[in-house]
Amino acid sequence: MTIFKQSKGFWLSVLLSFILFTVVQLLLTGGILNSYYENMIIFMGINIILAVSLHLIIGITGQFSIGHAGFLAVGAFASAVITMKFEMPLFAGLLVGGIVAALAGMLIGIPTLRLKGDYLAIATLGFGEIVRIVFLNIDYIGGASGMQVTHMTTWPWVFGCILITILVIRNFTNSSHGRACISIREDETAADAMGINTTYYKVAAFVIGAFFAGIAGGLWAHNFYIIQPSNFGFLKSFDILIFVVLGGLGSLSGAVLAAIVLTIVSTFLQDYPETRMLFYSLILIVMMIYRPQGLMGTRELTSLFKRKTKGGSKDGNHHTTA
Amino acid sequence: MELFQQLVNGISLGSIYALIALGYTMVYGIVKLINFAHGDVFMVGAFIGFYSITVLDLSFFPALLISMAACAVFGVIIERIAYKPLRNATRIAALITAIGVSLMIENGMIFIRGAQLEAYPTNLLPSENIDIFGVSIKSQSLLILGVSLVLMMILQIIVHKTKIGKAMRAVSYDAEAAKLMGINVNNTISATFAIGSALAGAAGVIFGTYYIKIEPLMGVLPGLKAFVAAVLGGIGIIPGAMVGGLLLGLIEALVSAAGFSLWRDAAAFVVLILILIFLPQGLFGKNKREKV
């Protein structure tokens, strides 16, 4: 019976995601949404991937990392090098971007994940800055003036990447590995005492998160015509952090929702960057004082619907079940 | 001789880092919070100094004092509004708030006065070159070093010889026990923020006089580096912050002198990661075992 219910939810979400994809695709090809909105939708997709990948690190595993823009930068430059310098297709670029970012995640994760809380935060922040400065000093990828990239990111690519990201991270979270990560978040010492290899799982979560951030970087690079190291400063890391914090530390659908809402807000405030940042900072402060667990807490959108309709796993957001 | 000059530059820069790092380390020692907004208090201090010099037509020392006083008040306001409600919240919540406050000060400043640069007047302090053993040193760097040292000495006196300093040490040792002994913990924390912010304000004015250019985002990088300095010396330990700051300034100067000036900013963070991995308690810290 439970298997039937689960598969019902599964097919429903497949259907919903297919409908979403087709509708947006038709709107775009039909010219109803102009390039301004197309850009916004692509940017939204990239932000969703970033938010979900950071959600795995902060929300699920409880490792407070604020250097996520570093992985974004690694992915962006690696994929741009693959497509521009080696003239390989976008798929190869995205894959290599993700893999290189994952390697960077492992490289930084193994030494720093022994640290906790504030120290880890600062170390990851330092890592992000080091990445930026290293890219600034490599002439091969253009140094400070950056690298020119052809526009290749389209809605199907973005949609495919979102789907894969959410599927992988959701399934990881619901597996025994994911439960191990959650136990680390709740109490690392207790998890250790229960025989969980905490270092292994922390690094694993970090590497998976970095991989998807790298893919988001690849999409980012091929959307903006030019990428510069200065795009990936710590302010970018905070941008990603706020998606996870606002959505709820530990809620995947919350992270997705926050990414969608905040992308819309920031698109409309594009011409007033300091108003946008003031707004973001106010959200952070007020949120932490009155609702530190974030809007959704650790709940998912699907659980709201489950309570209302007994038994049937009706689904309001296709992103949350897969 | 080039090297010697670089060392003097490094010490001047290091003394600015040390002044900022003191605020970090004091606040961390007492409330276990990385006050991300501290670098921005430094920026606000630089601007208050700038406006009191250009608008009020003051000289260096009155501007320094005004900036210190204003920053002390500013620091207490930040603490009362943003951090006090979170006294018993999780560390991560406090850290996120601190990031929020930092972004708010930076962007509030840009919102109020725009993002453009300002330049401190260059004739603020006598700038002669003094020759010592054939090395010419700017008199400004000596003066700056002197002012920083005096401020640090005053801080040591406050912490070790006054009642409020005693209260601060007690609260940082054990806040609960201090409360039971009749120490007003909230006031002590506010005093810590006030002193730390005043030092950051002084660092802001000194930075402005020495490096001329100031802008609303100037506090970010020195703020982060000062935190590195605090960690380097052992966070929560006041002499550690001073030594850490000077050491970091010297490291940066040496990296520049070795011809890698573009890599200078990365050096601080490499130092941070190395120190966190190999000596997480810092140069002066004691190793603490974690209890369950």
Tens-place pLDDT, residues A203-228: 999 999 999 999 999 999 988 888 88
Domain ranges within chain B, ordered by starting residue: 2-120+139-278
Quick check: A119 and B280 CB within 8 A?
Answer: yes
Please list, in sequence order, all residues whose beta carbon lies within 8 angstroms of the beta carbon of residue B69, skipping any fewer than 6 positions away: B198, B201
Quick check: A245 and B96 CB within 8 A?
Answer: yes
What is the count of residue pairs from A and B with beta carbons less than 8 Å apart?
118
Q: Which residues pair with B138 in a beta bridge?
A: B129
Give the C-alpha separation, B34 to B57, whole Å.
36
DSSP B138: E
* Per-residue pLDDT reduced to its tens digit, A218-267: 999 988 888 888 888 888 888 898 888 888 888 888 899 999 998 988 88
Closest Cα partner for A216 from A55, A82, A42, A61?
Answer: A42
Quick check: A122 and B263 CB within 8 A?
Answer: no
Q: Is the CB of residue A261 less than 8 Å away from at least one CB of chain B?
A: no
Mean pLDDT of chain A: 84
Give the C-alpha separation, A128 to A125, whole Å.
5
* Per-residue pLDDT reduced to its tens digit, B201-247: 999 999 998 888 898 888 888 888 898 898 888 887 888 888 999 99
DSSP B133: T
Structure tokens at A252: 């995947």
Q: Is the CB of residue B112 less than 8 Å away from at least one CB of chain A?
A: no
Q: Give the rounded percent of residues in chain A with a pLDDT score beyond 70.
A: 92
What pTM does this model have?
Answer: 0.86
Confirm if B36 and B98 have CB atoms less than 8 A apart.
Answer: yes
CA of B276 vs chain A CAs: smallest distance (Å): 8
Q: Is the CB of residue B108 less than 8 Å away from at least one CB of chain A?
A: yes
Confirm if B262 and A137 have CB atoms less than 8 A apart.
Answer: yes
Cα dihedral B3, B4, B9, B11, rounded to 10, equals: 120
Q: Is the CB of residue A114 less than 8 Å away from at least one CB of chain B?
A: yes
Q: Is the CB of residue B186 less than 8 Å away from at least one CB of chain A?
A: no
Domains of chain A, each with CATH number or no CATH? 9-308 (1.10.3470)
CA atoms within 13 A on the CB side of B133: 4
DSSP A60: I
Give me the interface pTM, i.e. the ipTM: 0.81
Quick check: A122 and B101 CB within 8 A?
Answer: no
- The CA R_g of chain B, rounded to the nearest whole Å, is 19
Give the C-alpha separation, B228 to B248, whole Å.
8
- Residues of B in Cβ contact (< 8 Å) with A285: 82, 97, 100-101, 104
Tell me the CA distances in angstroms from B272 to A106, A122, B226, B234, one per residue in order: 18, 9, 11, 11
Give the C-alpha separation, B68 to B66, whole Å.
5
Quick check: A189 and B96 CB within 8 A?
Answer: no
Q: How far is CA B140 from the centre of its chain?
A: 19
Q: Is the CB of residue A288 less than 8 Å away from at least one CB of chain B?
A: yes
Give the C-alpha separation, A127 to A132, whole Å.
9
Q: How many other C-beta atoms are found inside a 10 Å radius of the C-beta of residue A160?
A: 14
Give the C-alpha separation, A203 to A107, whole Å.
9
Phi and psi angles of residue A230, each rounded to the nearest 5 degrees, phi first: -70, -15
Asked whether residue B8 carries a pLDDT value surpassing 50, the answer given is yes
Minimum CA–CA partner of B271 in chain A:
A126
Q: Is the CB of residue A292 less than 8 Å away from at least one CB of chain B?
A: yes
Amino acid at A149: V
Please list, in sequence order, all residues whose beta carbon lies within 8 angstroms of the beta carbon of residue B217, skipping any fewer than 6 positions away: B43, B106, B110, B115
Element (H, E) at A121: helix A117-136
Of 1.25.40, 1.10.3470, 1.10.10, 3.30.70, the CATH number of B2-120+139-278 is: 1.10.3470
CA B71, B55, B142, B8 torsion: positive or negative? positive
Out of A43-47, A65-69, B261-265, pick the least confident. Answer: B261-265
Q: Which residues pair with B118 in a beta bridge?
A: B214
- The CA R_g of chain A, rounded to the nearest whole Å, is 19
Helix axes A176-186, A155-174, angle to 10 degrees: 70
